[in-house]
Chain A
Amino acid sequence: MREYQENSVVQAIDRLSDSFHRLTLFAPRIAAAARPGQFVMASCGTTLDPLLRRPFSIHQAFADGALELLVKVIGRGTSYLSTLRPGAELSLIGPLGRGFHLTTHGPVTLVGGGIGIAPLLFLASHLPTDSKISTCTVLLGSRTNTDLLVLTEEFKQLGCQVRTATDDGSLGHHGFVSELLPAALPGAHMVFTCGPHAMMTTVARLCLDAGIRCEASLEAHMACGLGACLGCTIHGAGNTYRHVCKHGPVFDATEVAWTP
């Protein structure tokens, strides 16, 4: 496994909702090496402010060299990305970090909240084919229905069973997506989750209590993504520090000190 610094070219930018943009980039070296759960560091401007690259989960990677990122506009960096037009160049470093571990041969459940849904589509498309049809359950949560409409269809096209939850009740369950998990847990051999920390904490605890293996993709502010700055620290189990960029971003739920 190795990473590349690659000047990608924007092929398309699709506005999926008020919050989400999908950036399709031509990045053949990174796309070829990418595994579900890995991330890239993207330059978010052409000047010194903002200075640092931003980490993004790989949303999809294709054999034709296309690499997709799901971008939620939250600050200047992501705002810049949302304004890119086809033909623009975007410097990427990747693929980085430790991805999901597809070790199970049984049914799996994916739990995604908000922008945390991003890496789960790549994961769903790489599940072993014997467990793909009807044994992949996907629980998706977001603020409102528009964020989920396109993504729900794409998970369904992969053969996944999808259930949704929205904060405003405009689609599916009215409440947290984690509230859908207890009903989906029986029979699940493994759970993969990415989303807000509070959501993942609930998911991890439910899985640990049920004795079901769970992997969670975490995020943290990071300067390099390469294991050099040591800035992207989280509290690990056993009073340790773990670095999201190298030890993660995907952690086994038992490796993380879930708080509070």
Chain B
Amino acid sequence: MDTLTTAVPPEMKISLGPLHLANPVMTASGTFGYGAEFSNLVDLQRLGALVVKGISLEPRPGNPPPRVVETACGMLNAIGLENVGLDRFIHQKMPFLRTCGSRIIVNILGDSIDEYAILAEKLTLVTGVDGLEVNISCPNVKKGGVAFGTVPEMAAAVTRAVKNATDLPVIIKLSPNVTDIAAMAKAVDESGADAVSLINTLIGMAIDIHSQKPKLANIIGGLSGPAIKPVALRMVWQVARTVSIPVVGIGGIGTAEDAIEFLLAGASAVQIGTANFYNPAAAEQILTGIEAYLSRQGASSIHDIIGSLRTTI
């Protein structure tokens, strides 16, 4: 009997609402370019999904340098949402992405609710786009620059606008820079989001004490990497027990063990971010590691461990 159960590979398919993935391991937006950058180093067909660098309606040049700085077990970035813009994305980046064998999720960002809606509407018509992930950590220019993702009503309004503009699956990516992330998640859940992903980077800062200047030209930036994993895990757990929609865990995941923690905490899938930079093989290693863990546990399916955290002593 034992040999029978271990011989059958565990079921790895997961669903984020209407979006069906072959496995729960995705690459996170902003850490995997437009896929082609990693095509010589990673078997893209093995990814559950590839989330592309955030796209805005118009190209954005990004922030002045320096844009990145390493910190203890992590890094700060202030890239400034540099991207090629919607038109070049569709014409220059999608042709490769269509052929790469992975599910393609397009991360979108805007300065206004209208921009999010236009992006969603236009991407709906693009062949090969399997879903949208909405970055709501951007400032709302029309509301004094307050980030959409810090006010539940604004996050809800973006969610409704995007859902009304597309029939693609919609994942809302949550900012951790809030007092109550579960309240944010509840607001987007009630507004029709198909899934939530979290966390985006934590706002941080580093100073060069010799020059007495900030290490980033932008002064502050987003912290990512293993340093943020415990915070991300806590937030994923809080959100997963609050919302009815699937949760995608992000934050400092670099090994299969990290990913399994997020799955146990209630995430239906995970995104690999900063680890792609220091170990491009991370996503594939994590997928293999999760499968091995399931086999060792005698589990026949990934669903046997999603949310199965035992909180009773």
Q: Which residues of A contact B (CB under 8 A)?
A: 2-5, 43, 48-53, 93, 220-224, 226-235, 240-241
Contact = CB atoms under 8 A, between A and B. Distances in A.
B56 interface: no
A227 B277 CA distance: 10
Interface in B260-306: 274, 276-278, 280-281
Given A231-B68, A233-B62, A51 B32 contact: no
Given A5-B281, A48-B226, A223-B68, A230 B62 contact: yes
Interface residues of B, number: 35
A230 B66 CA distance: 11
A1 to B, nearest CB: 10
A50 B72 CA distance: 7
Nearest to B69: A221
B17 to A, nearest CB: 28
21 contacts: A3-B41, A5-B41, A48-B254, A52-B75, A53-B277, A93-B41, A221-B66, A221-B70, A223-B278, A224-B37, A226-B280, A228-B32, A228-B33, A228-B53, A228-B277, A229-B68, A229-B77, A231-B67, A232-B65, A233-B65, A234-B65
A229 B65 contact: no
B31 interface: yes
Interface string B35-76: 001101100000000000100000001111111111011110
A223 B81 CA distance: 16
Interface of B: 30-33, 37-38, 40-41, 53, 61-70, 72-75, 77, 79, 82, 225-226, 254, 274, 276-278, 280-281
Given A52-B75, A53-B277, A232-B65, 14 more contacts: A3-B41, A43-B278, A49-B72, A50-B70, A51-B225, A223-B68, A223-B77, A230-B53, A230-B79, A231-B66, A231-B77, A233-B65, A235-B65, A241-B64
B65 A3 contact: no
A235 B274 CA distance: 25
Nearest to A54: B70
Contacts of A2: 40
Nearest to A224: B277
Nearest to B74: A51
A53 B282 CA distance: 14
Contacts of A220: 65-66
Given A51-B70, A234-B65, A227 B278 contact: no
